[in-house]
Structures are given as structure tokens and as C-alpha cells.
Amino acid sequence: MSDDLFADMTETLFEDKSILSEEYRPDVIVERDDEIDAYRTALKDVLFGRNPSNVFLYGKTGVGKTAVTEYIIEALQAEVQRREAADELHVHSRNCNDDSVYRTVRSLINSIREDHQEQFPETGLSTSHALETLYEEMEAVGGTFLFILDEIDHLSDPDSLLYELPRARANGHLETASVGVIGISNNYTFRSSLSPKVKDTLMEKELAFSPYDAEELQSILAERAEKALVDDACDDSAIRLAAARAAKDTGSARQAIDLLREGGDVAEEQGDEAITDSHIEIAAERVQRGRVQDKLRDQTMHAQLILEALAHLEIRGQVPVRSKEIQNVYVDITNEWNHDPLTTLKSIQNHLSDLTMLGFLERTEQNEGRAGGAHYQYELTLDPEIIIDTRNAIEAEEQ
């Protein structure tokens, strides 16, 4: 390969591309002043050596829950250092996606322990023993503990953990240490799924993060663009378009920022000096394809195969379609890929129900009267070509 293959690549629209990455955390959070103020108030007891309130954050992906939490916690930790009345603050985080209570508690124990100390075992002990050990570790250290539990709605048994932790002092498990839980969830209905006794125990502060509107996203993008791009590298209209597209779709700042970053890549590929509306339009197609691919890969194999079956039916123009017809195509595709198909129509219908709830499918009810009765018909809400391309890539990877 030639040593000068990249020699002509000297110009870039990006001053600091990392500012448009998912990992970047801004020094100042814009367009979330009300949420920050409510969050600050909810945690103020920490500054006075009192037991902290439990705080629960709700909102879709990309609306600032995690970024605001990190921003608030960093400021709280700094203020605790200046307050004589405040106890030492210990913050520990855990993503609870597909987690058991035991694994979550084990992670918290090990994050409290020093690196040289023995790690709590992965298996072999009960959850109650793990909780007792957690309380012992907290008591040994003392101070105030804040446990940040992200995607807490995906925890296998949130009731048991959320009943135990807030009552730890009342039940005599803690004397010198105090504890508060910060739960983060994409599911607005999570609280309603908790048992009445847990709701009474939590006494939490609830913060709902609504999707950003186009004007708010425009403000966020303008602030990022100023730091991430060189001067005059982006038309104002391109920022407005990226904000409008993201607001109409998900209201996610992450999606809007992805559009701006991808728009910059498109502009550079085309040799242009500034990001324009046309670059954002191309970027939107790329970002949408990437989001669908990621969502599809997160599903189980059988859910993917059912979606693949529907994609073929849609390309043939045979949708909306009943579950029995979907099952027939699903079995054929599953056999072609050398997998073992699900054997009952009920199991297919359960997957169809889940995929509808997740937004992959649209379901309509048909009533044919006494002759045919009522039944559901399904069709995709996604591009069938992307589904088939992604499935082909997944199977190729597994060869």
C-alpha cells in the first residue's frame, strides 16, 4: 500500500469532533434549567448531613437524563467538600439492563471495596446475604451513599431492591451511613408497576424529562457546532433542519447531534467547505439506517427472524398480514438459516405483541363478523430493505 495514501487529506470541517460524540459531557447543560433546579433541590439534604431523598428520572433516550445526572453529581461532590455539615459523599453507579438484584448488589459491594480487597462472589450466595454484606461495607466506610441505577426498569425484581435500600436505616441495617437511590428509566409507567408498599417506602422525587422541541435542539446544536466545527463550517439552515428532523422523530439531542456530525462527514466526502441542508438530508438517511440496525441487533434471534419474515412479506406487497401467514414465512426463513423455529403460533403471537409494543410493528384489528371473527393484522414501521440487509450481515458474521 502506498505510503502517501492519506497525504492529500489536509482540510477538515471539524475543530474538535469529539464534542459531537456520545461520550462528550458539556461543561454547561443547556435547555434543562427547570430539571436541573428540581434535581438540585431534591438532593440538597446531602449538604446538611441528612438522609438524601430518592430521585427517579423518566424520559426517552437522548433527552439529557444521564448528562444532567453527571452534571448535578459533579457539582454536588464539589459543594460537599466545602460544607462542614455534609458527610463524606460516595457515589456508585450501575446499569441494570437485564440484571438480577444479586448482580446489582454484588456490583455495588465491589465498587465500595478497595481494589486489593477480595471481590464478592458471582454465585453461591443469596440475595439477602449480598444485601447484608452491602450494609456492612457501607457502615465500615460511613458517610452518605448515592446509588445511581440506570435502566432500573430492566432490573429482574426492582420491587425487592427498592423496598430494601430506602428502609435500611429504619430497619437497623445502617447507623453511621445513609443512603439514597437515583433511578433512571426510559419507561414513564415504571412507577405504576411497583408494589404499593414500595411506592410508600420510596417517597421519591420524580423528574420527567420531556423530548426536546425543535427550538431547544437548535440551541443545543448551535452550542456544540461553535466548539466542534471550524468557523463558517455550517449553514444556520442546516442546524435548523437537523433540529427539526430530530424533534419530529424522537426529540432526542443525541439524534440531532448525530445528524450534525454525519452531515459534516458527508460535506467532507463531497469536498464542500460548509455543511448545508443537502448534507443533512443524506446524513438523515445514514443515521436512520444505523439506528434501525442497532435496534434490530438488540432483539432476540427469533424476534429478528419474525421481522425478517415480515420484511419479505412487505416487499411482496402482502401486508398487512395475519400471524399465521407470518408464521409460515418465518418457518421457511428459519430453516434456510439452519435455526430451529418456534413450534407454536402462540409463541409467534407473543413475539408479535412485544415487537408492536417496542414500535417495530403496527397492529390493526380486523372484524369479519360471525364468519371470521376478530383478528390482528401486522405490518412493519421500519424499512424492510434495512432489516433484510442487517439480517444477512448478522448471519454472515456467525458463519
Query: Is there a binding annotation on residue 71?
Result: no
Query: Residue 181 CB: number of other CB atoms within 10 A?
Result: 21
> Judging by beta carbons within 10 Å of its beta carbon (0-12, 13-18, 19+), is residue 264 exposed, middle or buried?
buried
379-393 burial code (b ≥16 CB/10 A, e <16): bbebebebbbbbbee
Query: Is there a binding annotation on residue 85?
Result: no
The angle at the Cα of 216, spanning 290 to 237, to the nearest 5 degrees, equals 70
Residue 176 near residue 142 (C-beta atoms within 8 A): yes
Q: Which grid coordinates are listed for 358?
A: 417496542
274-303 burial code (b ≥16 CB/10 A, e <16): ebbeebbbbbbeebbeebbbeebeebeebb
Q: At how many degrees (to 10) do helices 214-228 and 253-269 cross?
A: 50
Query: Is there a binding annotation on residue 133?
Result: no
Query: Is there a binding annotation on residue 55?
Result: no
> Judging by beta carbons within 10 Å of its beta carbon (0-12, 13-18, 19+), is residue 43 exposed, middle or buried?
buried
Look at residues 268, 254, 291, 225 and name the one whose alpha carbon lies nearest to residue 21. 254
- Give Dmax (Cα) for the chain: 78
The terminus-to-terminus CA distance of the chain in angstroms comes to 29
Backbone angles phi, psi at 316, to 5 degrees: -80, -5
In degrees to the nearest 10, what's the CA dihedral of 231, 234, 235, 238? Answer: -160
Rounded Cα gap, residues 88 and 83, in angstroms: 10
One DSSP character per residue, 130-171 reads HHHHHHHHHHHH-EEEEEEEETGGGSS-HHHHHHHGGGTTTT
Query: Is there a binding annotation on residue 390?
Result: no
- C-alpha distances (whole Å) from 226 to each of 14, 236, 271, 304 are 10, 11, 21, 41
Residue 176 in 3-state DSSP?
coil
Query: Is there a binding annotation on residue 212?
Result: yes
Residue 20 near residue 260 (C-beta atoms within 8 A): yes
> Left if phi > 0, otherwise alpha if psi is -120 to 50, otherwise beta: which for 64?
left
Query: Is there a binding annotation on residue 303?
Result: no
**Which residues are documented as binding site?**
63-67, 212, 224
**Which residues are documented as binding site for ATP?**
63-67, 212, 224
